[in-house]
Amino acid sequence: MKTRILIIEDEAKLVDGLRARFLAEGYEVDAASGGKAGLAKAAAKPPDLILLDLMLPDMDGLEVCREWRRKGFDTPVIMLTAKGDEVDKVIGLEVGADDYMTKPFGMRELLARIRVQLRRAQKRKTPVPDVLRFGEAEVDFARLRVKRAGRDLDLTALEAEILKYLMAHRGDVVSREALLGKIWGYERFPTTRTIDNHILKLRKKIELDPARPEYILSVYGGGYRFGGGDNY
């Protein structure tokens, strides 16, 4: 699959120029001219990287970045602005931006920074093998099976995807919104209760005591985290 870049920028000419160059570089491109529309597009189909303008007509880039991180997404964000004030740069980085470029900027430098952020994002992801063991559970993602305490249990495809995503981000708090966006690819369900139901079913299959989970841990106000399992 092609790497997807979302441009959240209200300068139409700049967007057109960026789109043309990114397409020529082999990226998939989407764009939004406002912060609210950008957040909606990002949540509906999470991109691999976001180019985010600081000054937007409805909500500024700082608010957009803060809200995106609050939802639990770790997508690299490069902030664009016409301002050169160091204070703006510091605030942008503090709310979760990964890099910062001041307009006007050179395309070669921007492309280089994009590649750096994409490489860093890839390194943050822990590869998950097709078969792994932790505690008394053995999970076979290829066969969609779990073996625990001598019992063979079936995994649904969605349960397997959720478990694999949590494992790939082992130790990190993953929000329900992030799981909906990454697993389903769009906001299909009206509430995040869907995720909670799948988590409950997963716990019954992999946890020795589902009421006191060791692996799929709840984080109050945050989401879920895969913990424990030192042999994984």
Indicate if the pLDDT at residue 231 is higher than 70.
Answer: no
Tokens 């600081």 sit at which residue? 54
Do 126 and 168 form a contact (C-beta atoms < 8 A)?
Answer: yes
Indicate if the pLDDT at residue 230 is higher than 90.
Answer: no
Smallest CA-to-CA distance from 52 within 2, 1, 88, 3 is with 88
Indicate if the pLDDT at residue 110 is higher than 90.
Answer: yes
Do 77 and 98 form a contact (C-beta atoms < 8 A)?
Answer: yes
* More confident of the two residues 180 and 111: 111
What is the predicted pLDDT for the residue at 81?
83
Q: Indicate the pTM of the whole model.
A: 0.62
Indicate if the pLDDT at residue 129 is higher than 90.
Answer: no
Do 22 and 2 form a contact (C-beta atoms < 8 A)?
Answer: no
Do 148 and 137 form a contact (C-beta atoms < 8 A)?
Answer: yes
What is the predicted pLDDT for the residue at 64?
93
Distance (Å, whole) CA 25 – CA 203 = 43
Beta-ladder partners of 74: none
Q: pLDDT category, 173, cuts 50, 70, 90? A: confident
Do 20 and 107 form a contact (C-beta atoms < 8 A)?
Answer: no
Do 147 and 136 form a contact (C-beta atoms < 8 A)?
Answer: no
Tokens 């997508």 sit at which residue? 75
Q: Among 33-37, 68-72, 77-81, 198-202, which stretch is predicted with the lowest mean pLDDT? A: 68-72
Q: pLDDT category, 48, cuts 50, 70, 90? A: very high
Give the whole-number percent of the chain exceeding pLDDT 90.
41
Q: pLDDT category, 120, cuts 50, 70, 90? A: confident
Do 8 and 31 form a contact (C-beta atoms < 8 A)?
Answer: yes
Distance (Å, whole) CA 61 – CA 81 = 9
Six-digit token string for 199: 């988590």
Strand locations in the chain (E): 4-8, 28-32, 49-53, 77-81, 99-102, 131-134, 137-140, 145-148, 151-154, 216-219, 223-226
Indicate if the pLDDT at residue 52 is higher than 90.
Answer: yes
* More confident of the two residues 83 and 101: 101
What is the predicted pLDDT for the residue at 186?
47
Six-digit token string for 143: 């066969």
